Amino acid sequence: MSDLFNQDSQSDDEIGGLRQDTGSTGSGPKSPLAVRMRPRSLDDIVGQQHLLGSGSPLRALAAGEQGNGPAGSTSVILWGPPGTGKTTLAHVIARGPGRKFVELSAITSGVKDVRKVMDDALTARDLHRMTTVLFLDEIHRFNKAQQDALLPGVENGWVILIAATTENPSFSVVAPLLSRSLMLTLQPLTAADIGSLLVKAVQDPRGLAGEVEVATDAMDHLVRLAAGDARRGLTALEAAARMAMSEQGGDADGTTEADDGGSPASDPGPVQVELRHAEQALDAAAIRYDRQGDQHYDVASAFIKSIRGSDVDAALHYLARMLEAGEDARFIARRIVISASEDVGMADPTALQTAVAAAQAVQLIGMPEGRIVLAEAVVHLATAPKSNAAYMGINAAVADIRAGKGTTIPAHLRDSHYPGSKQLGHGKGYQYAHDAPNGVAAQQYPPDDLVGRDYYQPTGFGSEREVAARVEKLRRIIRGG
């Protein structure tokens, strides 16, 4: 569901900068909607059904079952985008019998904090028979020394470690900890998941208790802009409800100006939340992008593949996505230059000229105007005929070099300008191309073992159609065919 559902501050004890509780669910009426809608069991969680089936490791862990090795490990790494349920799962597991919850943030905690948790966990286990559930948020921000400090507690079972990360653990978590953990991948919530969650929040007594009625177009807007993030969806719903209620003198916790202990007011019915309220509450979609993590490479990959596939609309989408996420425009420009040669090539030689010009223009004028230049280059490349013949040609030539092919350079092609070169036969028999008919001479250019090897295989697309005919004619002349 959402990793926003932290324990309410009224039920937490602040001890040494560490948040600790025993899994209580209390939350006052003024708590944020997301907190009030916190799930109390795995069955309350929306989405992530691929991890919550009968007999799954998470269900076993929540039930208090423990084992050894990754399959039954008490160490779990939850990998997924924000708002998909990482913190929620940790809190639900902490509600198991004889457990207490401790949360560390990798942003503010160090090795000293980790060691204190381990010491306290040993004391709680030995003296109070309590198991500590340690939730470590953003573990990818922990350096190697900090992650190594977790190993004794994980190996010896002093704590149930639940670590959350938005970045690929294979790149950000040390191998010893990764090998001792069960890695679970959380998926973004679907539109249906978000929709059912918001509908439930409108009616649930813990939520808005039926005090509002959300118009269909307003609900669709909230679901769409939540972008798979439950936290974002619930927060926006609460803000929209508050705006609608404020127009009628009420509040988003279900109280009105007449509900202050005075005379009761007539019930006007649910407050109507309209599209304009939703638009004001949430004015930009969540952008799934991380400039250092997987999303950086995934979006860049989708961008290039869309250009290669000639889908100009998708290419512009990914360009906008990178720009809105704050990606360096120079990085984008470099990728466009590469694509011009790799994917368009000789099918439209002017594509490279456009790409290089765009890269230079971006450096000259900067952003935000640079986005227009980049868009022009993207449109040119995406709509151009495609050929990877030059790219494949150089790859084939490199492969032959690495395989040891390509013997001695023919003597007539060697440098004959230094003293003694002519005695070695260098340059003897060389035919100056400009003196030959049509400026092309019949003679051997490649090493003996590569004669007749065709690296460049032009396509019949775009301008390369004419190049293909010319290459065929040139090869016949040069090779004496």
Query: E strands, 48-94, where?
Result: 76-79
The token pair that represents 217 in the structure block = 């177009």
203: CATH = 1.10.8.60
How many residues are given for the chain? 481
Residue 156 to residues 20, 74, 75, 159, Cα–Cα distance (Å)? 21, 10, 11, 8
* Whether 56 and 122 share a structural domain: yes
Q: Is 70 exceeded by the pLDDT of residue 294?
A: no
For residues 287 and 18, the model is more confident at 287
* Whether 97 and 217 share a structural domain: no
Q: What is the domain extent for residue 425?
A: 401-478
Q: What is the mean pLDDT of residues 365-369?
A: 85
- Going by C-beta distance under 8 Å and a sequence separation of 6 or more, which residues neighbour residue 355? 333, 336, 337, 339, 340, 377, 380, 381
Asked if residue 7 lies in contact with residue 92, where contact means CB atoms within 8 angstroms, the answer is no
Which of 305, 360, 304 has the alpha carbon at shortest distance from 336?
A: 304
Beta strands 131-137; 271-273: pairing state: unpaired
Indicate whether 139 belongs to any domain: yes
Beta bridge partners of 162: 76, 135
The token pair that represents 292 in the structure block = 């250092």
Indicate whether 130 belongs to any domain: yes
- Taking only the tens place, the pLDDT of each residue in 115-136 is 899 999 888 888 888 888 888 8
pTM above 0.75, yes or no: no
- Going by C-beta distance under 8 Å and a sequence separation of 6 or more, which residues neighbour residue 225? 232, 236, 282, 284, 285, 286
Residue 71 to residues 58, 61, 364, Cα–Cα distance (Å)? 10, 11, 55
Query: Confidence band (pLDDT; 50, 70, 90) for 295?
Result: low
Q: How far apart are CA 439 and CA 450, in angstroms?
A: 23
Indicate whether 289 belongs to any domain: no
What's the number of domains the chain is made of?
A: 4
Beta strands 18-21; 13-15: pairing state: antiparallel
* Whether 177 and 201 share a structural domain: no
Q: Which helix (H) or strand (E) holds 478?
A: helix 464-478
- Taking only the tens place, the pLDDT of each residue in 408-430 is 888 887 878 777 777 777 888 88
The token pair that represents 167 in the structure block = 């970045």
* Whether 313 and 459 share a structural domain: no
- End of a domain among 140, 164, 185? 185
The token pair that represents 74 in the structure block = 């008490």
* Whether 306 and 406 share a structural domain: no
142: CATH = 3.40.50.300
Asked which of 2-6, 52-56, 191-195 is least confident by mean pLDDT, the reply is: 2-6
* Whether 119 and 162 share a structural domain: yes
Q: How far apart are CA 304 and CA 343, in angstroms?
A: 9
Residue listed under structure tokens 């065919």: 481
The HSE-up count of residue 358 (CA atoms within 13 Å, CB side) is 30
Indicate whether 86 belongs to any domain: yes
* Whether 224 and 147 share a structural domain: no
Q: Is 70 exceeded by the pLDDT of residue 354?
A: yes
* Whether 160 and 198 share a structural domain: no
| 8-state DSSP, 189 | P
- Range 290-295 contact pairs with CB under 8 angstroms and sequence separation of 24 or more: 290/166, 290/167, 291/325, 291/326, 291/327, 292/167, 293/140, 293/166, 293/167, 293/168, 293/171, 293/172, 294/167, 294/168
Q: What is the mean pLDDT of residues 149-157?
A: 87
347: CATH = 1.20.272.10
What residue type is 337 in one-letter code?
Answer: V
The token pair that represents 328 in the structure block = 């360096």
- End of a domain among 185, 208, 243? 185
Say what percent of the chain tops pLDDT 90: 22
The token pair that represents 374 in the structure block = 């980049």
Q: Please give the mean pLDDT across all residues of the chain.
A: 81
Query: Confidence band (pLDDT; 50, 70, 90) for 470?
Result: confident
* Whether 299 and 379 share a structural domain: yes
Query: Confidence band (pLDDT; 50, 70, 90) for 23?
Result: very low
Predicted local confidence at residue 26, as pLDDT: 44
Our CA dihedral for 179, 184, 185, 187, rounded to 10 degrees, sits at -170
* Whether 353 and 446 share a structural domain: no
What b/e readout covers 281-298, taking b as 16+ CB neighbours within 10 angstroms?
bbeeebebbbeebbbbee
Query: Confidence band (pLDDT; 50, 70, 90) for 317?
Result: very high
Indicate whether 273 belongs to any domain: yes
Q: How far apart are CA 184 and CA 193, in angstroms?
A: 19
Query: Confidence band (pLDDT; 50, 70, 90) for 404?
Result: confident
* Whether 121 and 160 share a structural domain: yes
Indicate whether 144 belongs to any domain: yes
Q: How far apart are CA 149 and CA 377, in angstroms?
A: 50
Helix axes 191-203, 216-226, angle to 10 degrees: 130
Asked if residue 36 lies in contact with residue 235, where contact means CB atoms within 8 angstroms, the answer is no
Indicate whether 260 belongs to any domain: no
Indicate whether 453 belongs to any domain: yes
Which of 372, 296, 285 has the alpha carbon at shortest distance from 328?
A: 296
Q: Is 60 exceeded by the pLDDT of residue 83?
A: yes
Q: Mark out the alpha helices in 384-463 (DSSP H runs).
A: 389-402
* Whether 149 and 57 share a structural domain: yes
- End of a domain among 185, 202, 219? 185
